[in-house]
Amino acid sequence: MQLSRLLLAFTLGGGYAAAAGVAVPPTPATTGATVELPLLAGWYQGAVVHYVSTDISDQDMAKPANLNYTPRLQYALRAPQPGQPSAVDRVYKFTNFKQGSVFASAPEPLGSGSASAAYTPLWVVYLARWREGSAPQLLRSEEEVLDAEEKKWLELTPTAIVINCPIVYSGKDGGLGGSRVHGLK
């Protein structure tokens, strides 16, 4: 998948004051400044979702991905189980097959109206490796990943790596409010 860029317009605090009709003088939080971050693509329940990664608890993974090394994220861990609430959820990263990560949850719909109690932007990384003799294929949902593991086609290895990568765009809902996405096809 092609790497896109996400242009986020940060106008923190300005939305509430504007809605109330109160003038807010420009401050660093209300200048409308922008930042450009790499936009990554992954899968949730068969649909493409897009996310940004900012922080990770593993220093070796932080370097090549240009993320903040954040060792305290490891303390968010409580082993996530499918269907059970936790501060973190599973994200499946494939080690021997090129495809986007597969997420166990997502905001539904994206934004402040999300009704998903399962979604969290904090993920514990599960490494997914196709076993020798199996035919690697594109997996687009946690159910497909767990089915491939049950059939012994795929080996899943839980790690103690926690990554902060909020889902900010989906083909179904568009972008997170206040964001602009460029370059998606």
Residue 28: its pLDDT value, please? 52
* Domain definitions of the chain by residue range: 4-182
For the beta carbon of residue 116, count every other beta carbon within 10 angstroms. 12
Q: What are phi and psi of 167, to 5 degrees?
A: -80, 125
* pLDDT tens for each residue of 53-75: 888 888 898 888 888 887 777 77
Q: Confidence band (pLDDT; 50, 70, 90) for 83?
A: low
Q: Is residue 136 scored above 60 in pLDDT?
A: yes
For the beta carbon of residue 84, count every other beta carbon within 10 angstroms. 10
Residue 81: its pLDDT value, please? 65
- Across the chain, where does the E strand assignment appear? 4-9, 34-44, 47-51, 55-56, 68-69, 89-94, 101-103, 122-130, 154-164, 167-170, 174-175, 179-182
Q: Is residue 23 scored above 60 in pLDDT?
A: no
Q: Is residue 1 scored above 80 in pLDDT?
A: no
Q: Is residue 108 scored above 80 in pLDDT?
A: yes
